Amino acid sequence: MQWTSAYETGIVEIDQQHRTIVGLVAEFEAAIRANASWDRLYPLIARARDYAKFHFAVEESLMQILGYPRTSAHRSEHRFVLERIADLEQGVLRKSMLEELAPQFRTWLLSHFLESDRHFAGFARAAGVHVAQAAHAPAQPRVLIADADEQHRNLLKLLLEANGFKVTLAGDGLQALAAARDERPDVVLSEVPLPNMDGFALCRAWMQDAALSAVPFIFYSGHQMRQDQEQFAQALGAARYLSKPLATESLLQELRSVLPTDRSRSAA
Ligand SMILES: [Fe+2]
Ligand SMILES: [Fe+2]
């Protein structure tokens, strides 16, 4: 199985993930052809399972946020493939059956990419998730996202890159500060609860750093904030306090509103 542009859905991040899946399938097929032992096949299956779970979670979160009407049917298709992978792992399917099953699986995957994923991609584009044409734009604003939830980080990355931003990810406060000192972002979106250094401590360190203090700091948190905490965030120097989840268009508007005008135009 080999990737071709004919499989594209038009959403860059989804296509990149599909390309990775096709690569994993190709590796697995090559191993079957080489009559690889179960010991060699097993790690390939485990990797494909983890990656498929990640990819399906990204699509399904995006569907939920955008209110995609065919979410449950699409999710059943994802579940079907995860169940087949689980069958493989648990040895329900014997190795001798793999050669016969591989073409069926390839057909399933292609029909899912070309019909179900493409249908969803069309819906997502109509809802404002754009193809990242801004990859060639001269000044893409860089957003640093500090969030401990990997799935949420990746989803935000997908949405922002699709709308012309460059994205740096950090899983905790210390990582975020180090990443910002390494490459200064144009804006930061930070959770409040974070391992190692929480969002408040990060904001304080941010404002004390002469190289970073002019960079707008936005709290974007699933954590319901009391009014005194919101005032505290403002006193620390935060530009905004936003509650998750925000509709994509509103989040983009908030980001653009704190960016210098020349940059926000390039992200529009
Ligand atoms: Fe899908
Ligand atoms: Fe997909």
Residues 69-118 pLDDT 10s: 999 999 999 999 899 888 887 776 666 677 777 777 888 888 899 899 99
The verdict on 69 and 11 lying in the same domain is yes
What's the 186 CA to ligand 1 centre distance in angstroms? 33
The alpha carbon of 184 and the centre of ligand 1 are apart by a number of angstroms equal to 35
Phi, psi (degrees; rounded to nearest 5) at 219: -85, 130
Domain count along the chain: 2
Determine the distance separating the centroid of ligand 1 and the alpha carbon of 124, expressed in angstroms. 13
CATH of the domain at 189: 3.40.50.2300
Domain of residue 93, residue span = 5-126
Q: What percent of the chain has pLDDT over 70?
A: 91
CATH code of residue 27: 1.20.120.50
CA 5–ligand 2 middle distance (angstroms): 15
| Alpha-carbon gap, residue 53 to 51, rounded angstroms | 5
Instruction: Mark whether 163 and 73 lie in a shared domain.
Output: no
Task: Say whether both 116 and 207 belong to one domain.
Answer: no
- Ligand 2 centroid to 40 CA: how many Å? 26
Residue 220 has what pLDDT? 94
14 Cα: distance to centroid of ligand 2 (angstroms):
7
pLDDT for 261 beyond 70? no
| Separation between Cα atoms, residue 194 and residue 163, nearest integer Å | 26
pTM of the full predicted structure? 0.54
Same domain, 104 and 80: yes
Cα–Cα dist 77/108, whole Å: 9
User: Do 147 and 258 belong together in one domain?
Assistant: yes
**Mean pLDDT of the region 4-23:** 87
